[in-house]
Structure 1
């Protein structure tokens, strides 16, 4: 199974069907949220909204199934079972499991392409085992739920930087995903007006190896897309380097006064991949 929707994934509350189409138009992939974005009393109505937009005669849904992820409630809950019952009657087969904590939970989701959202202490510590499950196509991490599970009060310091425990969790999820060849999705940036802060964090996500970043507001999409799109200078540099490597043949070689070997060439290839080349 593979996963390629990014770079900007946009959350949309499942109980707000009037936002579905706009979310699809303004992002690279939509995460229709049946979990935290929906109040407990509204969850059944939210599932009904997902079914209603499909049409009674099998009409084409407002949301493209190939670009839609349904975030379901945590395994072991009554809402989890109801979510799965709902999804059986839809064309949606990309799901995000909230608060994923063990490989065993993923085995209950056979037939779905699953993004495991590791956002508790148990989920972070078991990220490698979770990522290794065959139906897992990606891992995402969540800072606020993680800190809440630890009894903390905030994932960030007063200057907006992540606390050490959040940074460790971010790295562990990224490494677990990479070790199993799965997509890594960076957490949301909750300070919506701070687009500069979002842009900086998105650029770091790109440089670190995250394949995409989740957004909670349409205004954040452009900043994420810009961060993931290589500049003309970066493209020219990567192309020139790879051309030089082809001319040099195999092995280490010097380029503009610097030693170039395999890892450096992979960086250049990654830049071209982000540009769709």
Structure 2
């Protein structure tokens, strides 16, 4: 089984045919997705592959997004992956677990972008070499025959919210990471902050972004506040000192609340020194 996905909350896409941007992207975000798929035009695919092979980003903080297993570019991308030194690969448009067989030597983030893929998400997440699920709202909407993932108020439509929830459930049921979809409006950081805060509170491991300006907003949304950390540490300390239920700030604390507190401390990178 692959090691867990621990790259951090802000994951930035970077076109693989723009090697001059690789280092800056790595500086701005917790991890970088070098994109050989949608971000690279047909004429630049070969040059992009060479750029990936020549790059020297930290493999622990780099994901290579290849083209779909059904694409004419898949074989060349697979060769690029083998020569690149990177071990985490994002595979787009995944519909079945079987199509990921050739990627068993790698850590796979499966990108779910269709109704068929969404229905197969639990089986895809169960594969030992899959470390996470990521989902794409716009392609999913196209697969449904829709025209927009969001309503006039900017919020996801009901069916898209269901899809987002199912990706989270499928990933977490199998102990894998769930990565939330990009917010394409990189000028609206307030909307991004609200969505990323909801993602963190719901259990997502990370949120992908398409512009460097979005990275710190995502980090801040996933970062627990000082008040939350103080509460969480007192809960964990109380659990270590007490058998059974106890109270913190006038509220009864039981096992699920203790686990919530531990999750907050993990997200902040705080050692659970007093945890049971």
- TM-score scaled to structure 1, two decimals? 0.94
Q: Superposed, which structure 2 residues align to 1:76-155 within 5 Å?
A: 76-155=70-149
Conserved? CA contact 2:223–2:268, under 8 Å: yes
Conserved? CA contact 1:6–1:213, under 8 Å: no
How far residue 253 of structure 1 moved from its aligned partner, in angstroms, is 3.0
- Please name the residue that 1:270 is paired with: 263
- Please name the residue that 2:225 is paired with: 231
Q: Answer yes or no: is 1:221 the counterpart of 2:215.
A: yes
Q: Superposed, which structure 2 residues align to 1:117-196 within 5 Å?
A: 117-196=111-190
How far residue 97 of structure 1 moved from its aligned partner, in angstroms, is 0.3
- Please name the residue that 2:248 is paired with: 255
Looking at structure 2, the residues matched to 32 and 208 of structure 1 have their Cα atoms a distance apart, in angstroms, of 27
- Gaps in structure 1 of 5+ consecutive residues: 54-60
Greater mean deviation of Cα atoms: 145-154 or 200-209: 145-154
How far residue 92 of structure 1 moved from its aligned partner, in angstroms, is 0.8
**RMSD, aligned α-carbons:** 1.1
Greater mean deviation of Cα atoms: 185-194 or 81-90: 81-90
Q: Deviations over 1:126-167 (max 9, x none)?
A: 000000001000111110010011121110001110001110
Give the count of matched residue pairs: 268
Looking at structure 2, the residues matched to 44 and 235 of structure 1 have their Cα atoms a distance apart, in angstroms, of 48
How far residue 246 of structure 1 moved from its aligned partner, in angstroms, is 2.1
Tell me which stretches of 4 or more aligned residues in structure 1 moved more than 6 Å.
none
Conserved? CA contact 2:54–2:84, under 8 Å: no
- Please name the residue that 2:273 is paired with: none
How far residue 82 of structure 1 moved from its aligned partner, in angstroms, is 1.1
How far residue 17 of structure 1 moved from its aligned partner, in angstroms, is 0.7
How far residue 201 of structure 1 moved from its aligned partner, in angstroms, is 0.3
- TM-score scaled to structure 2, two decimals? 0.94
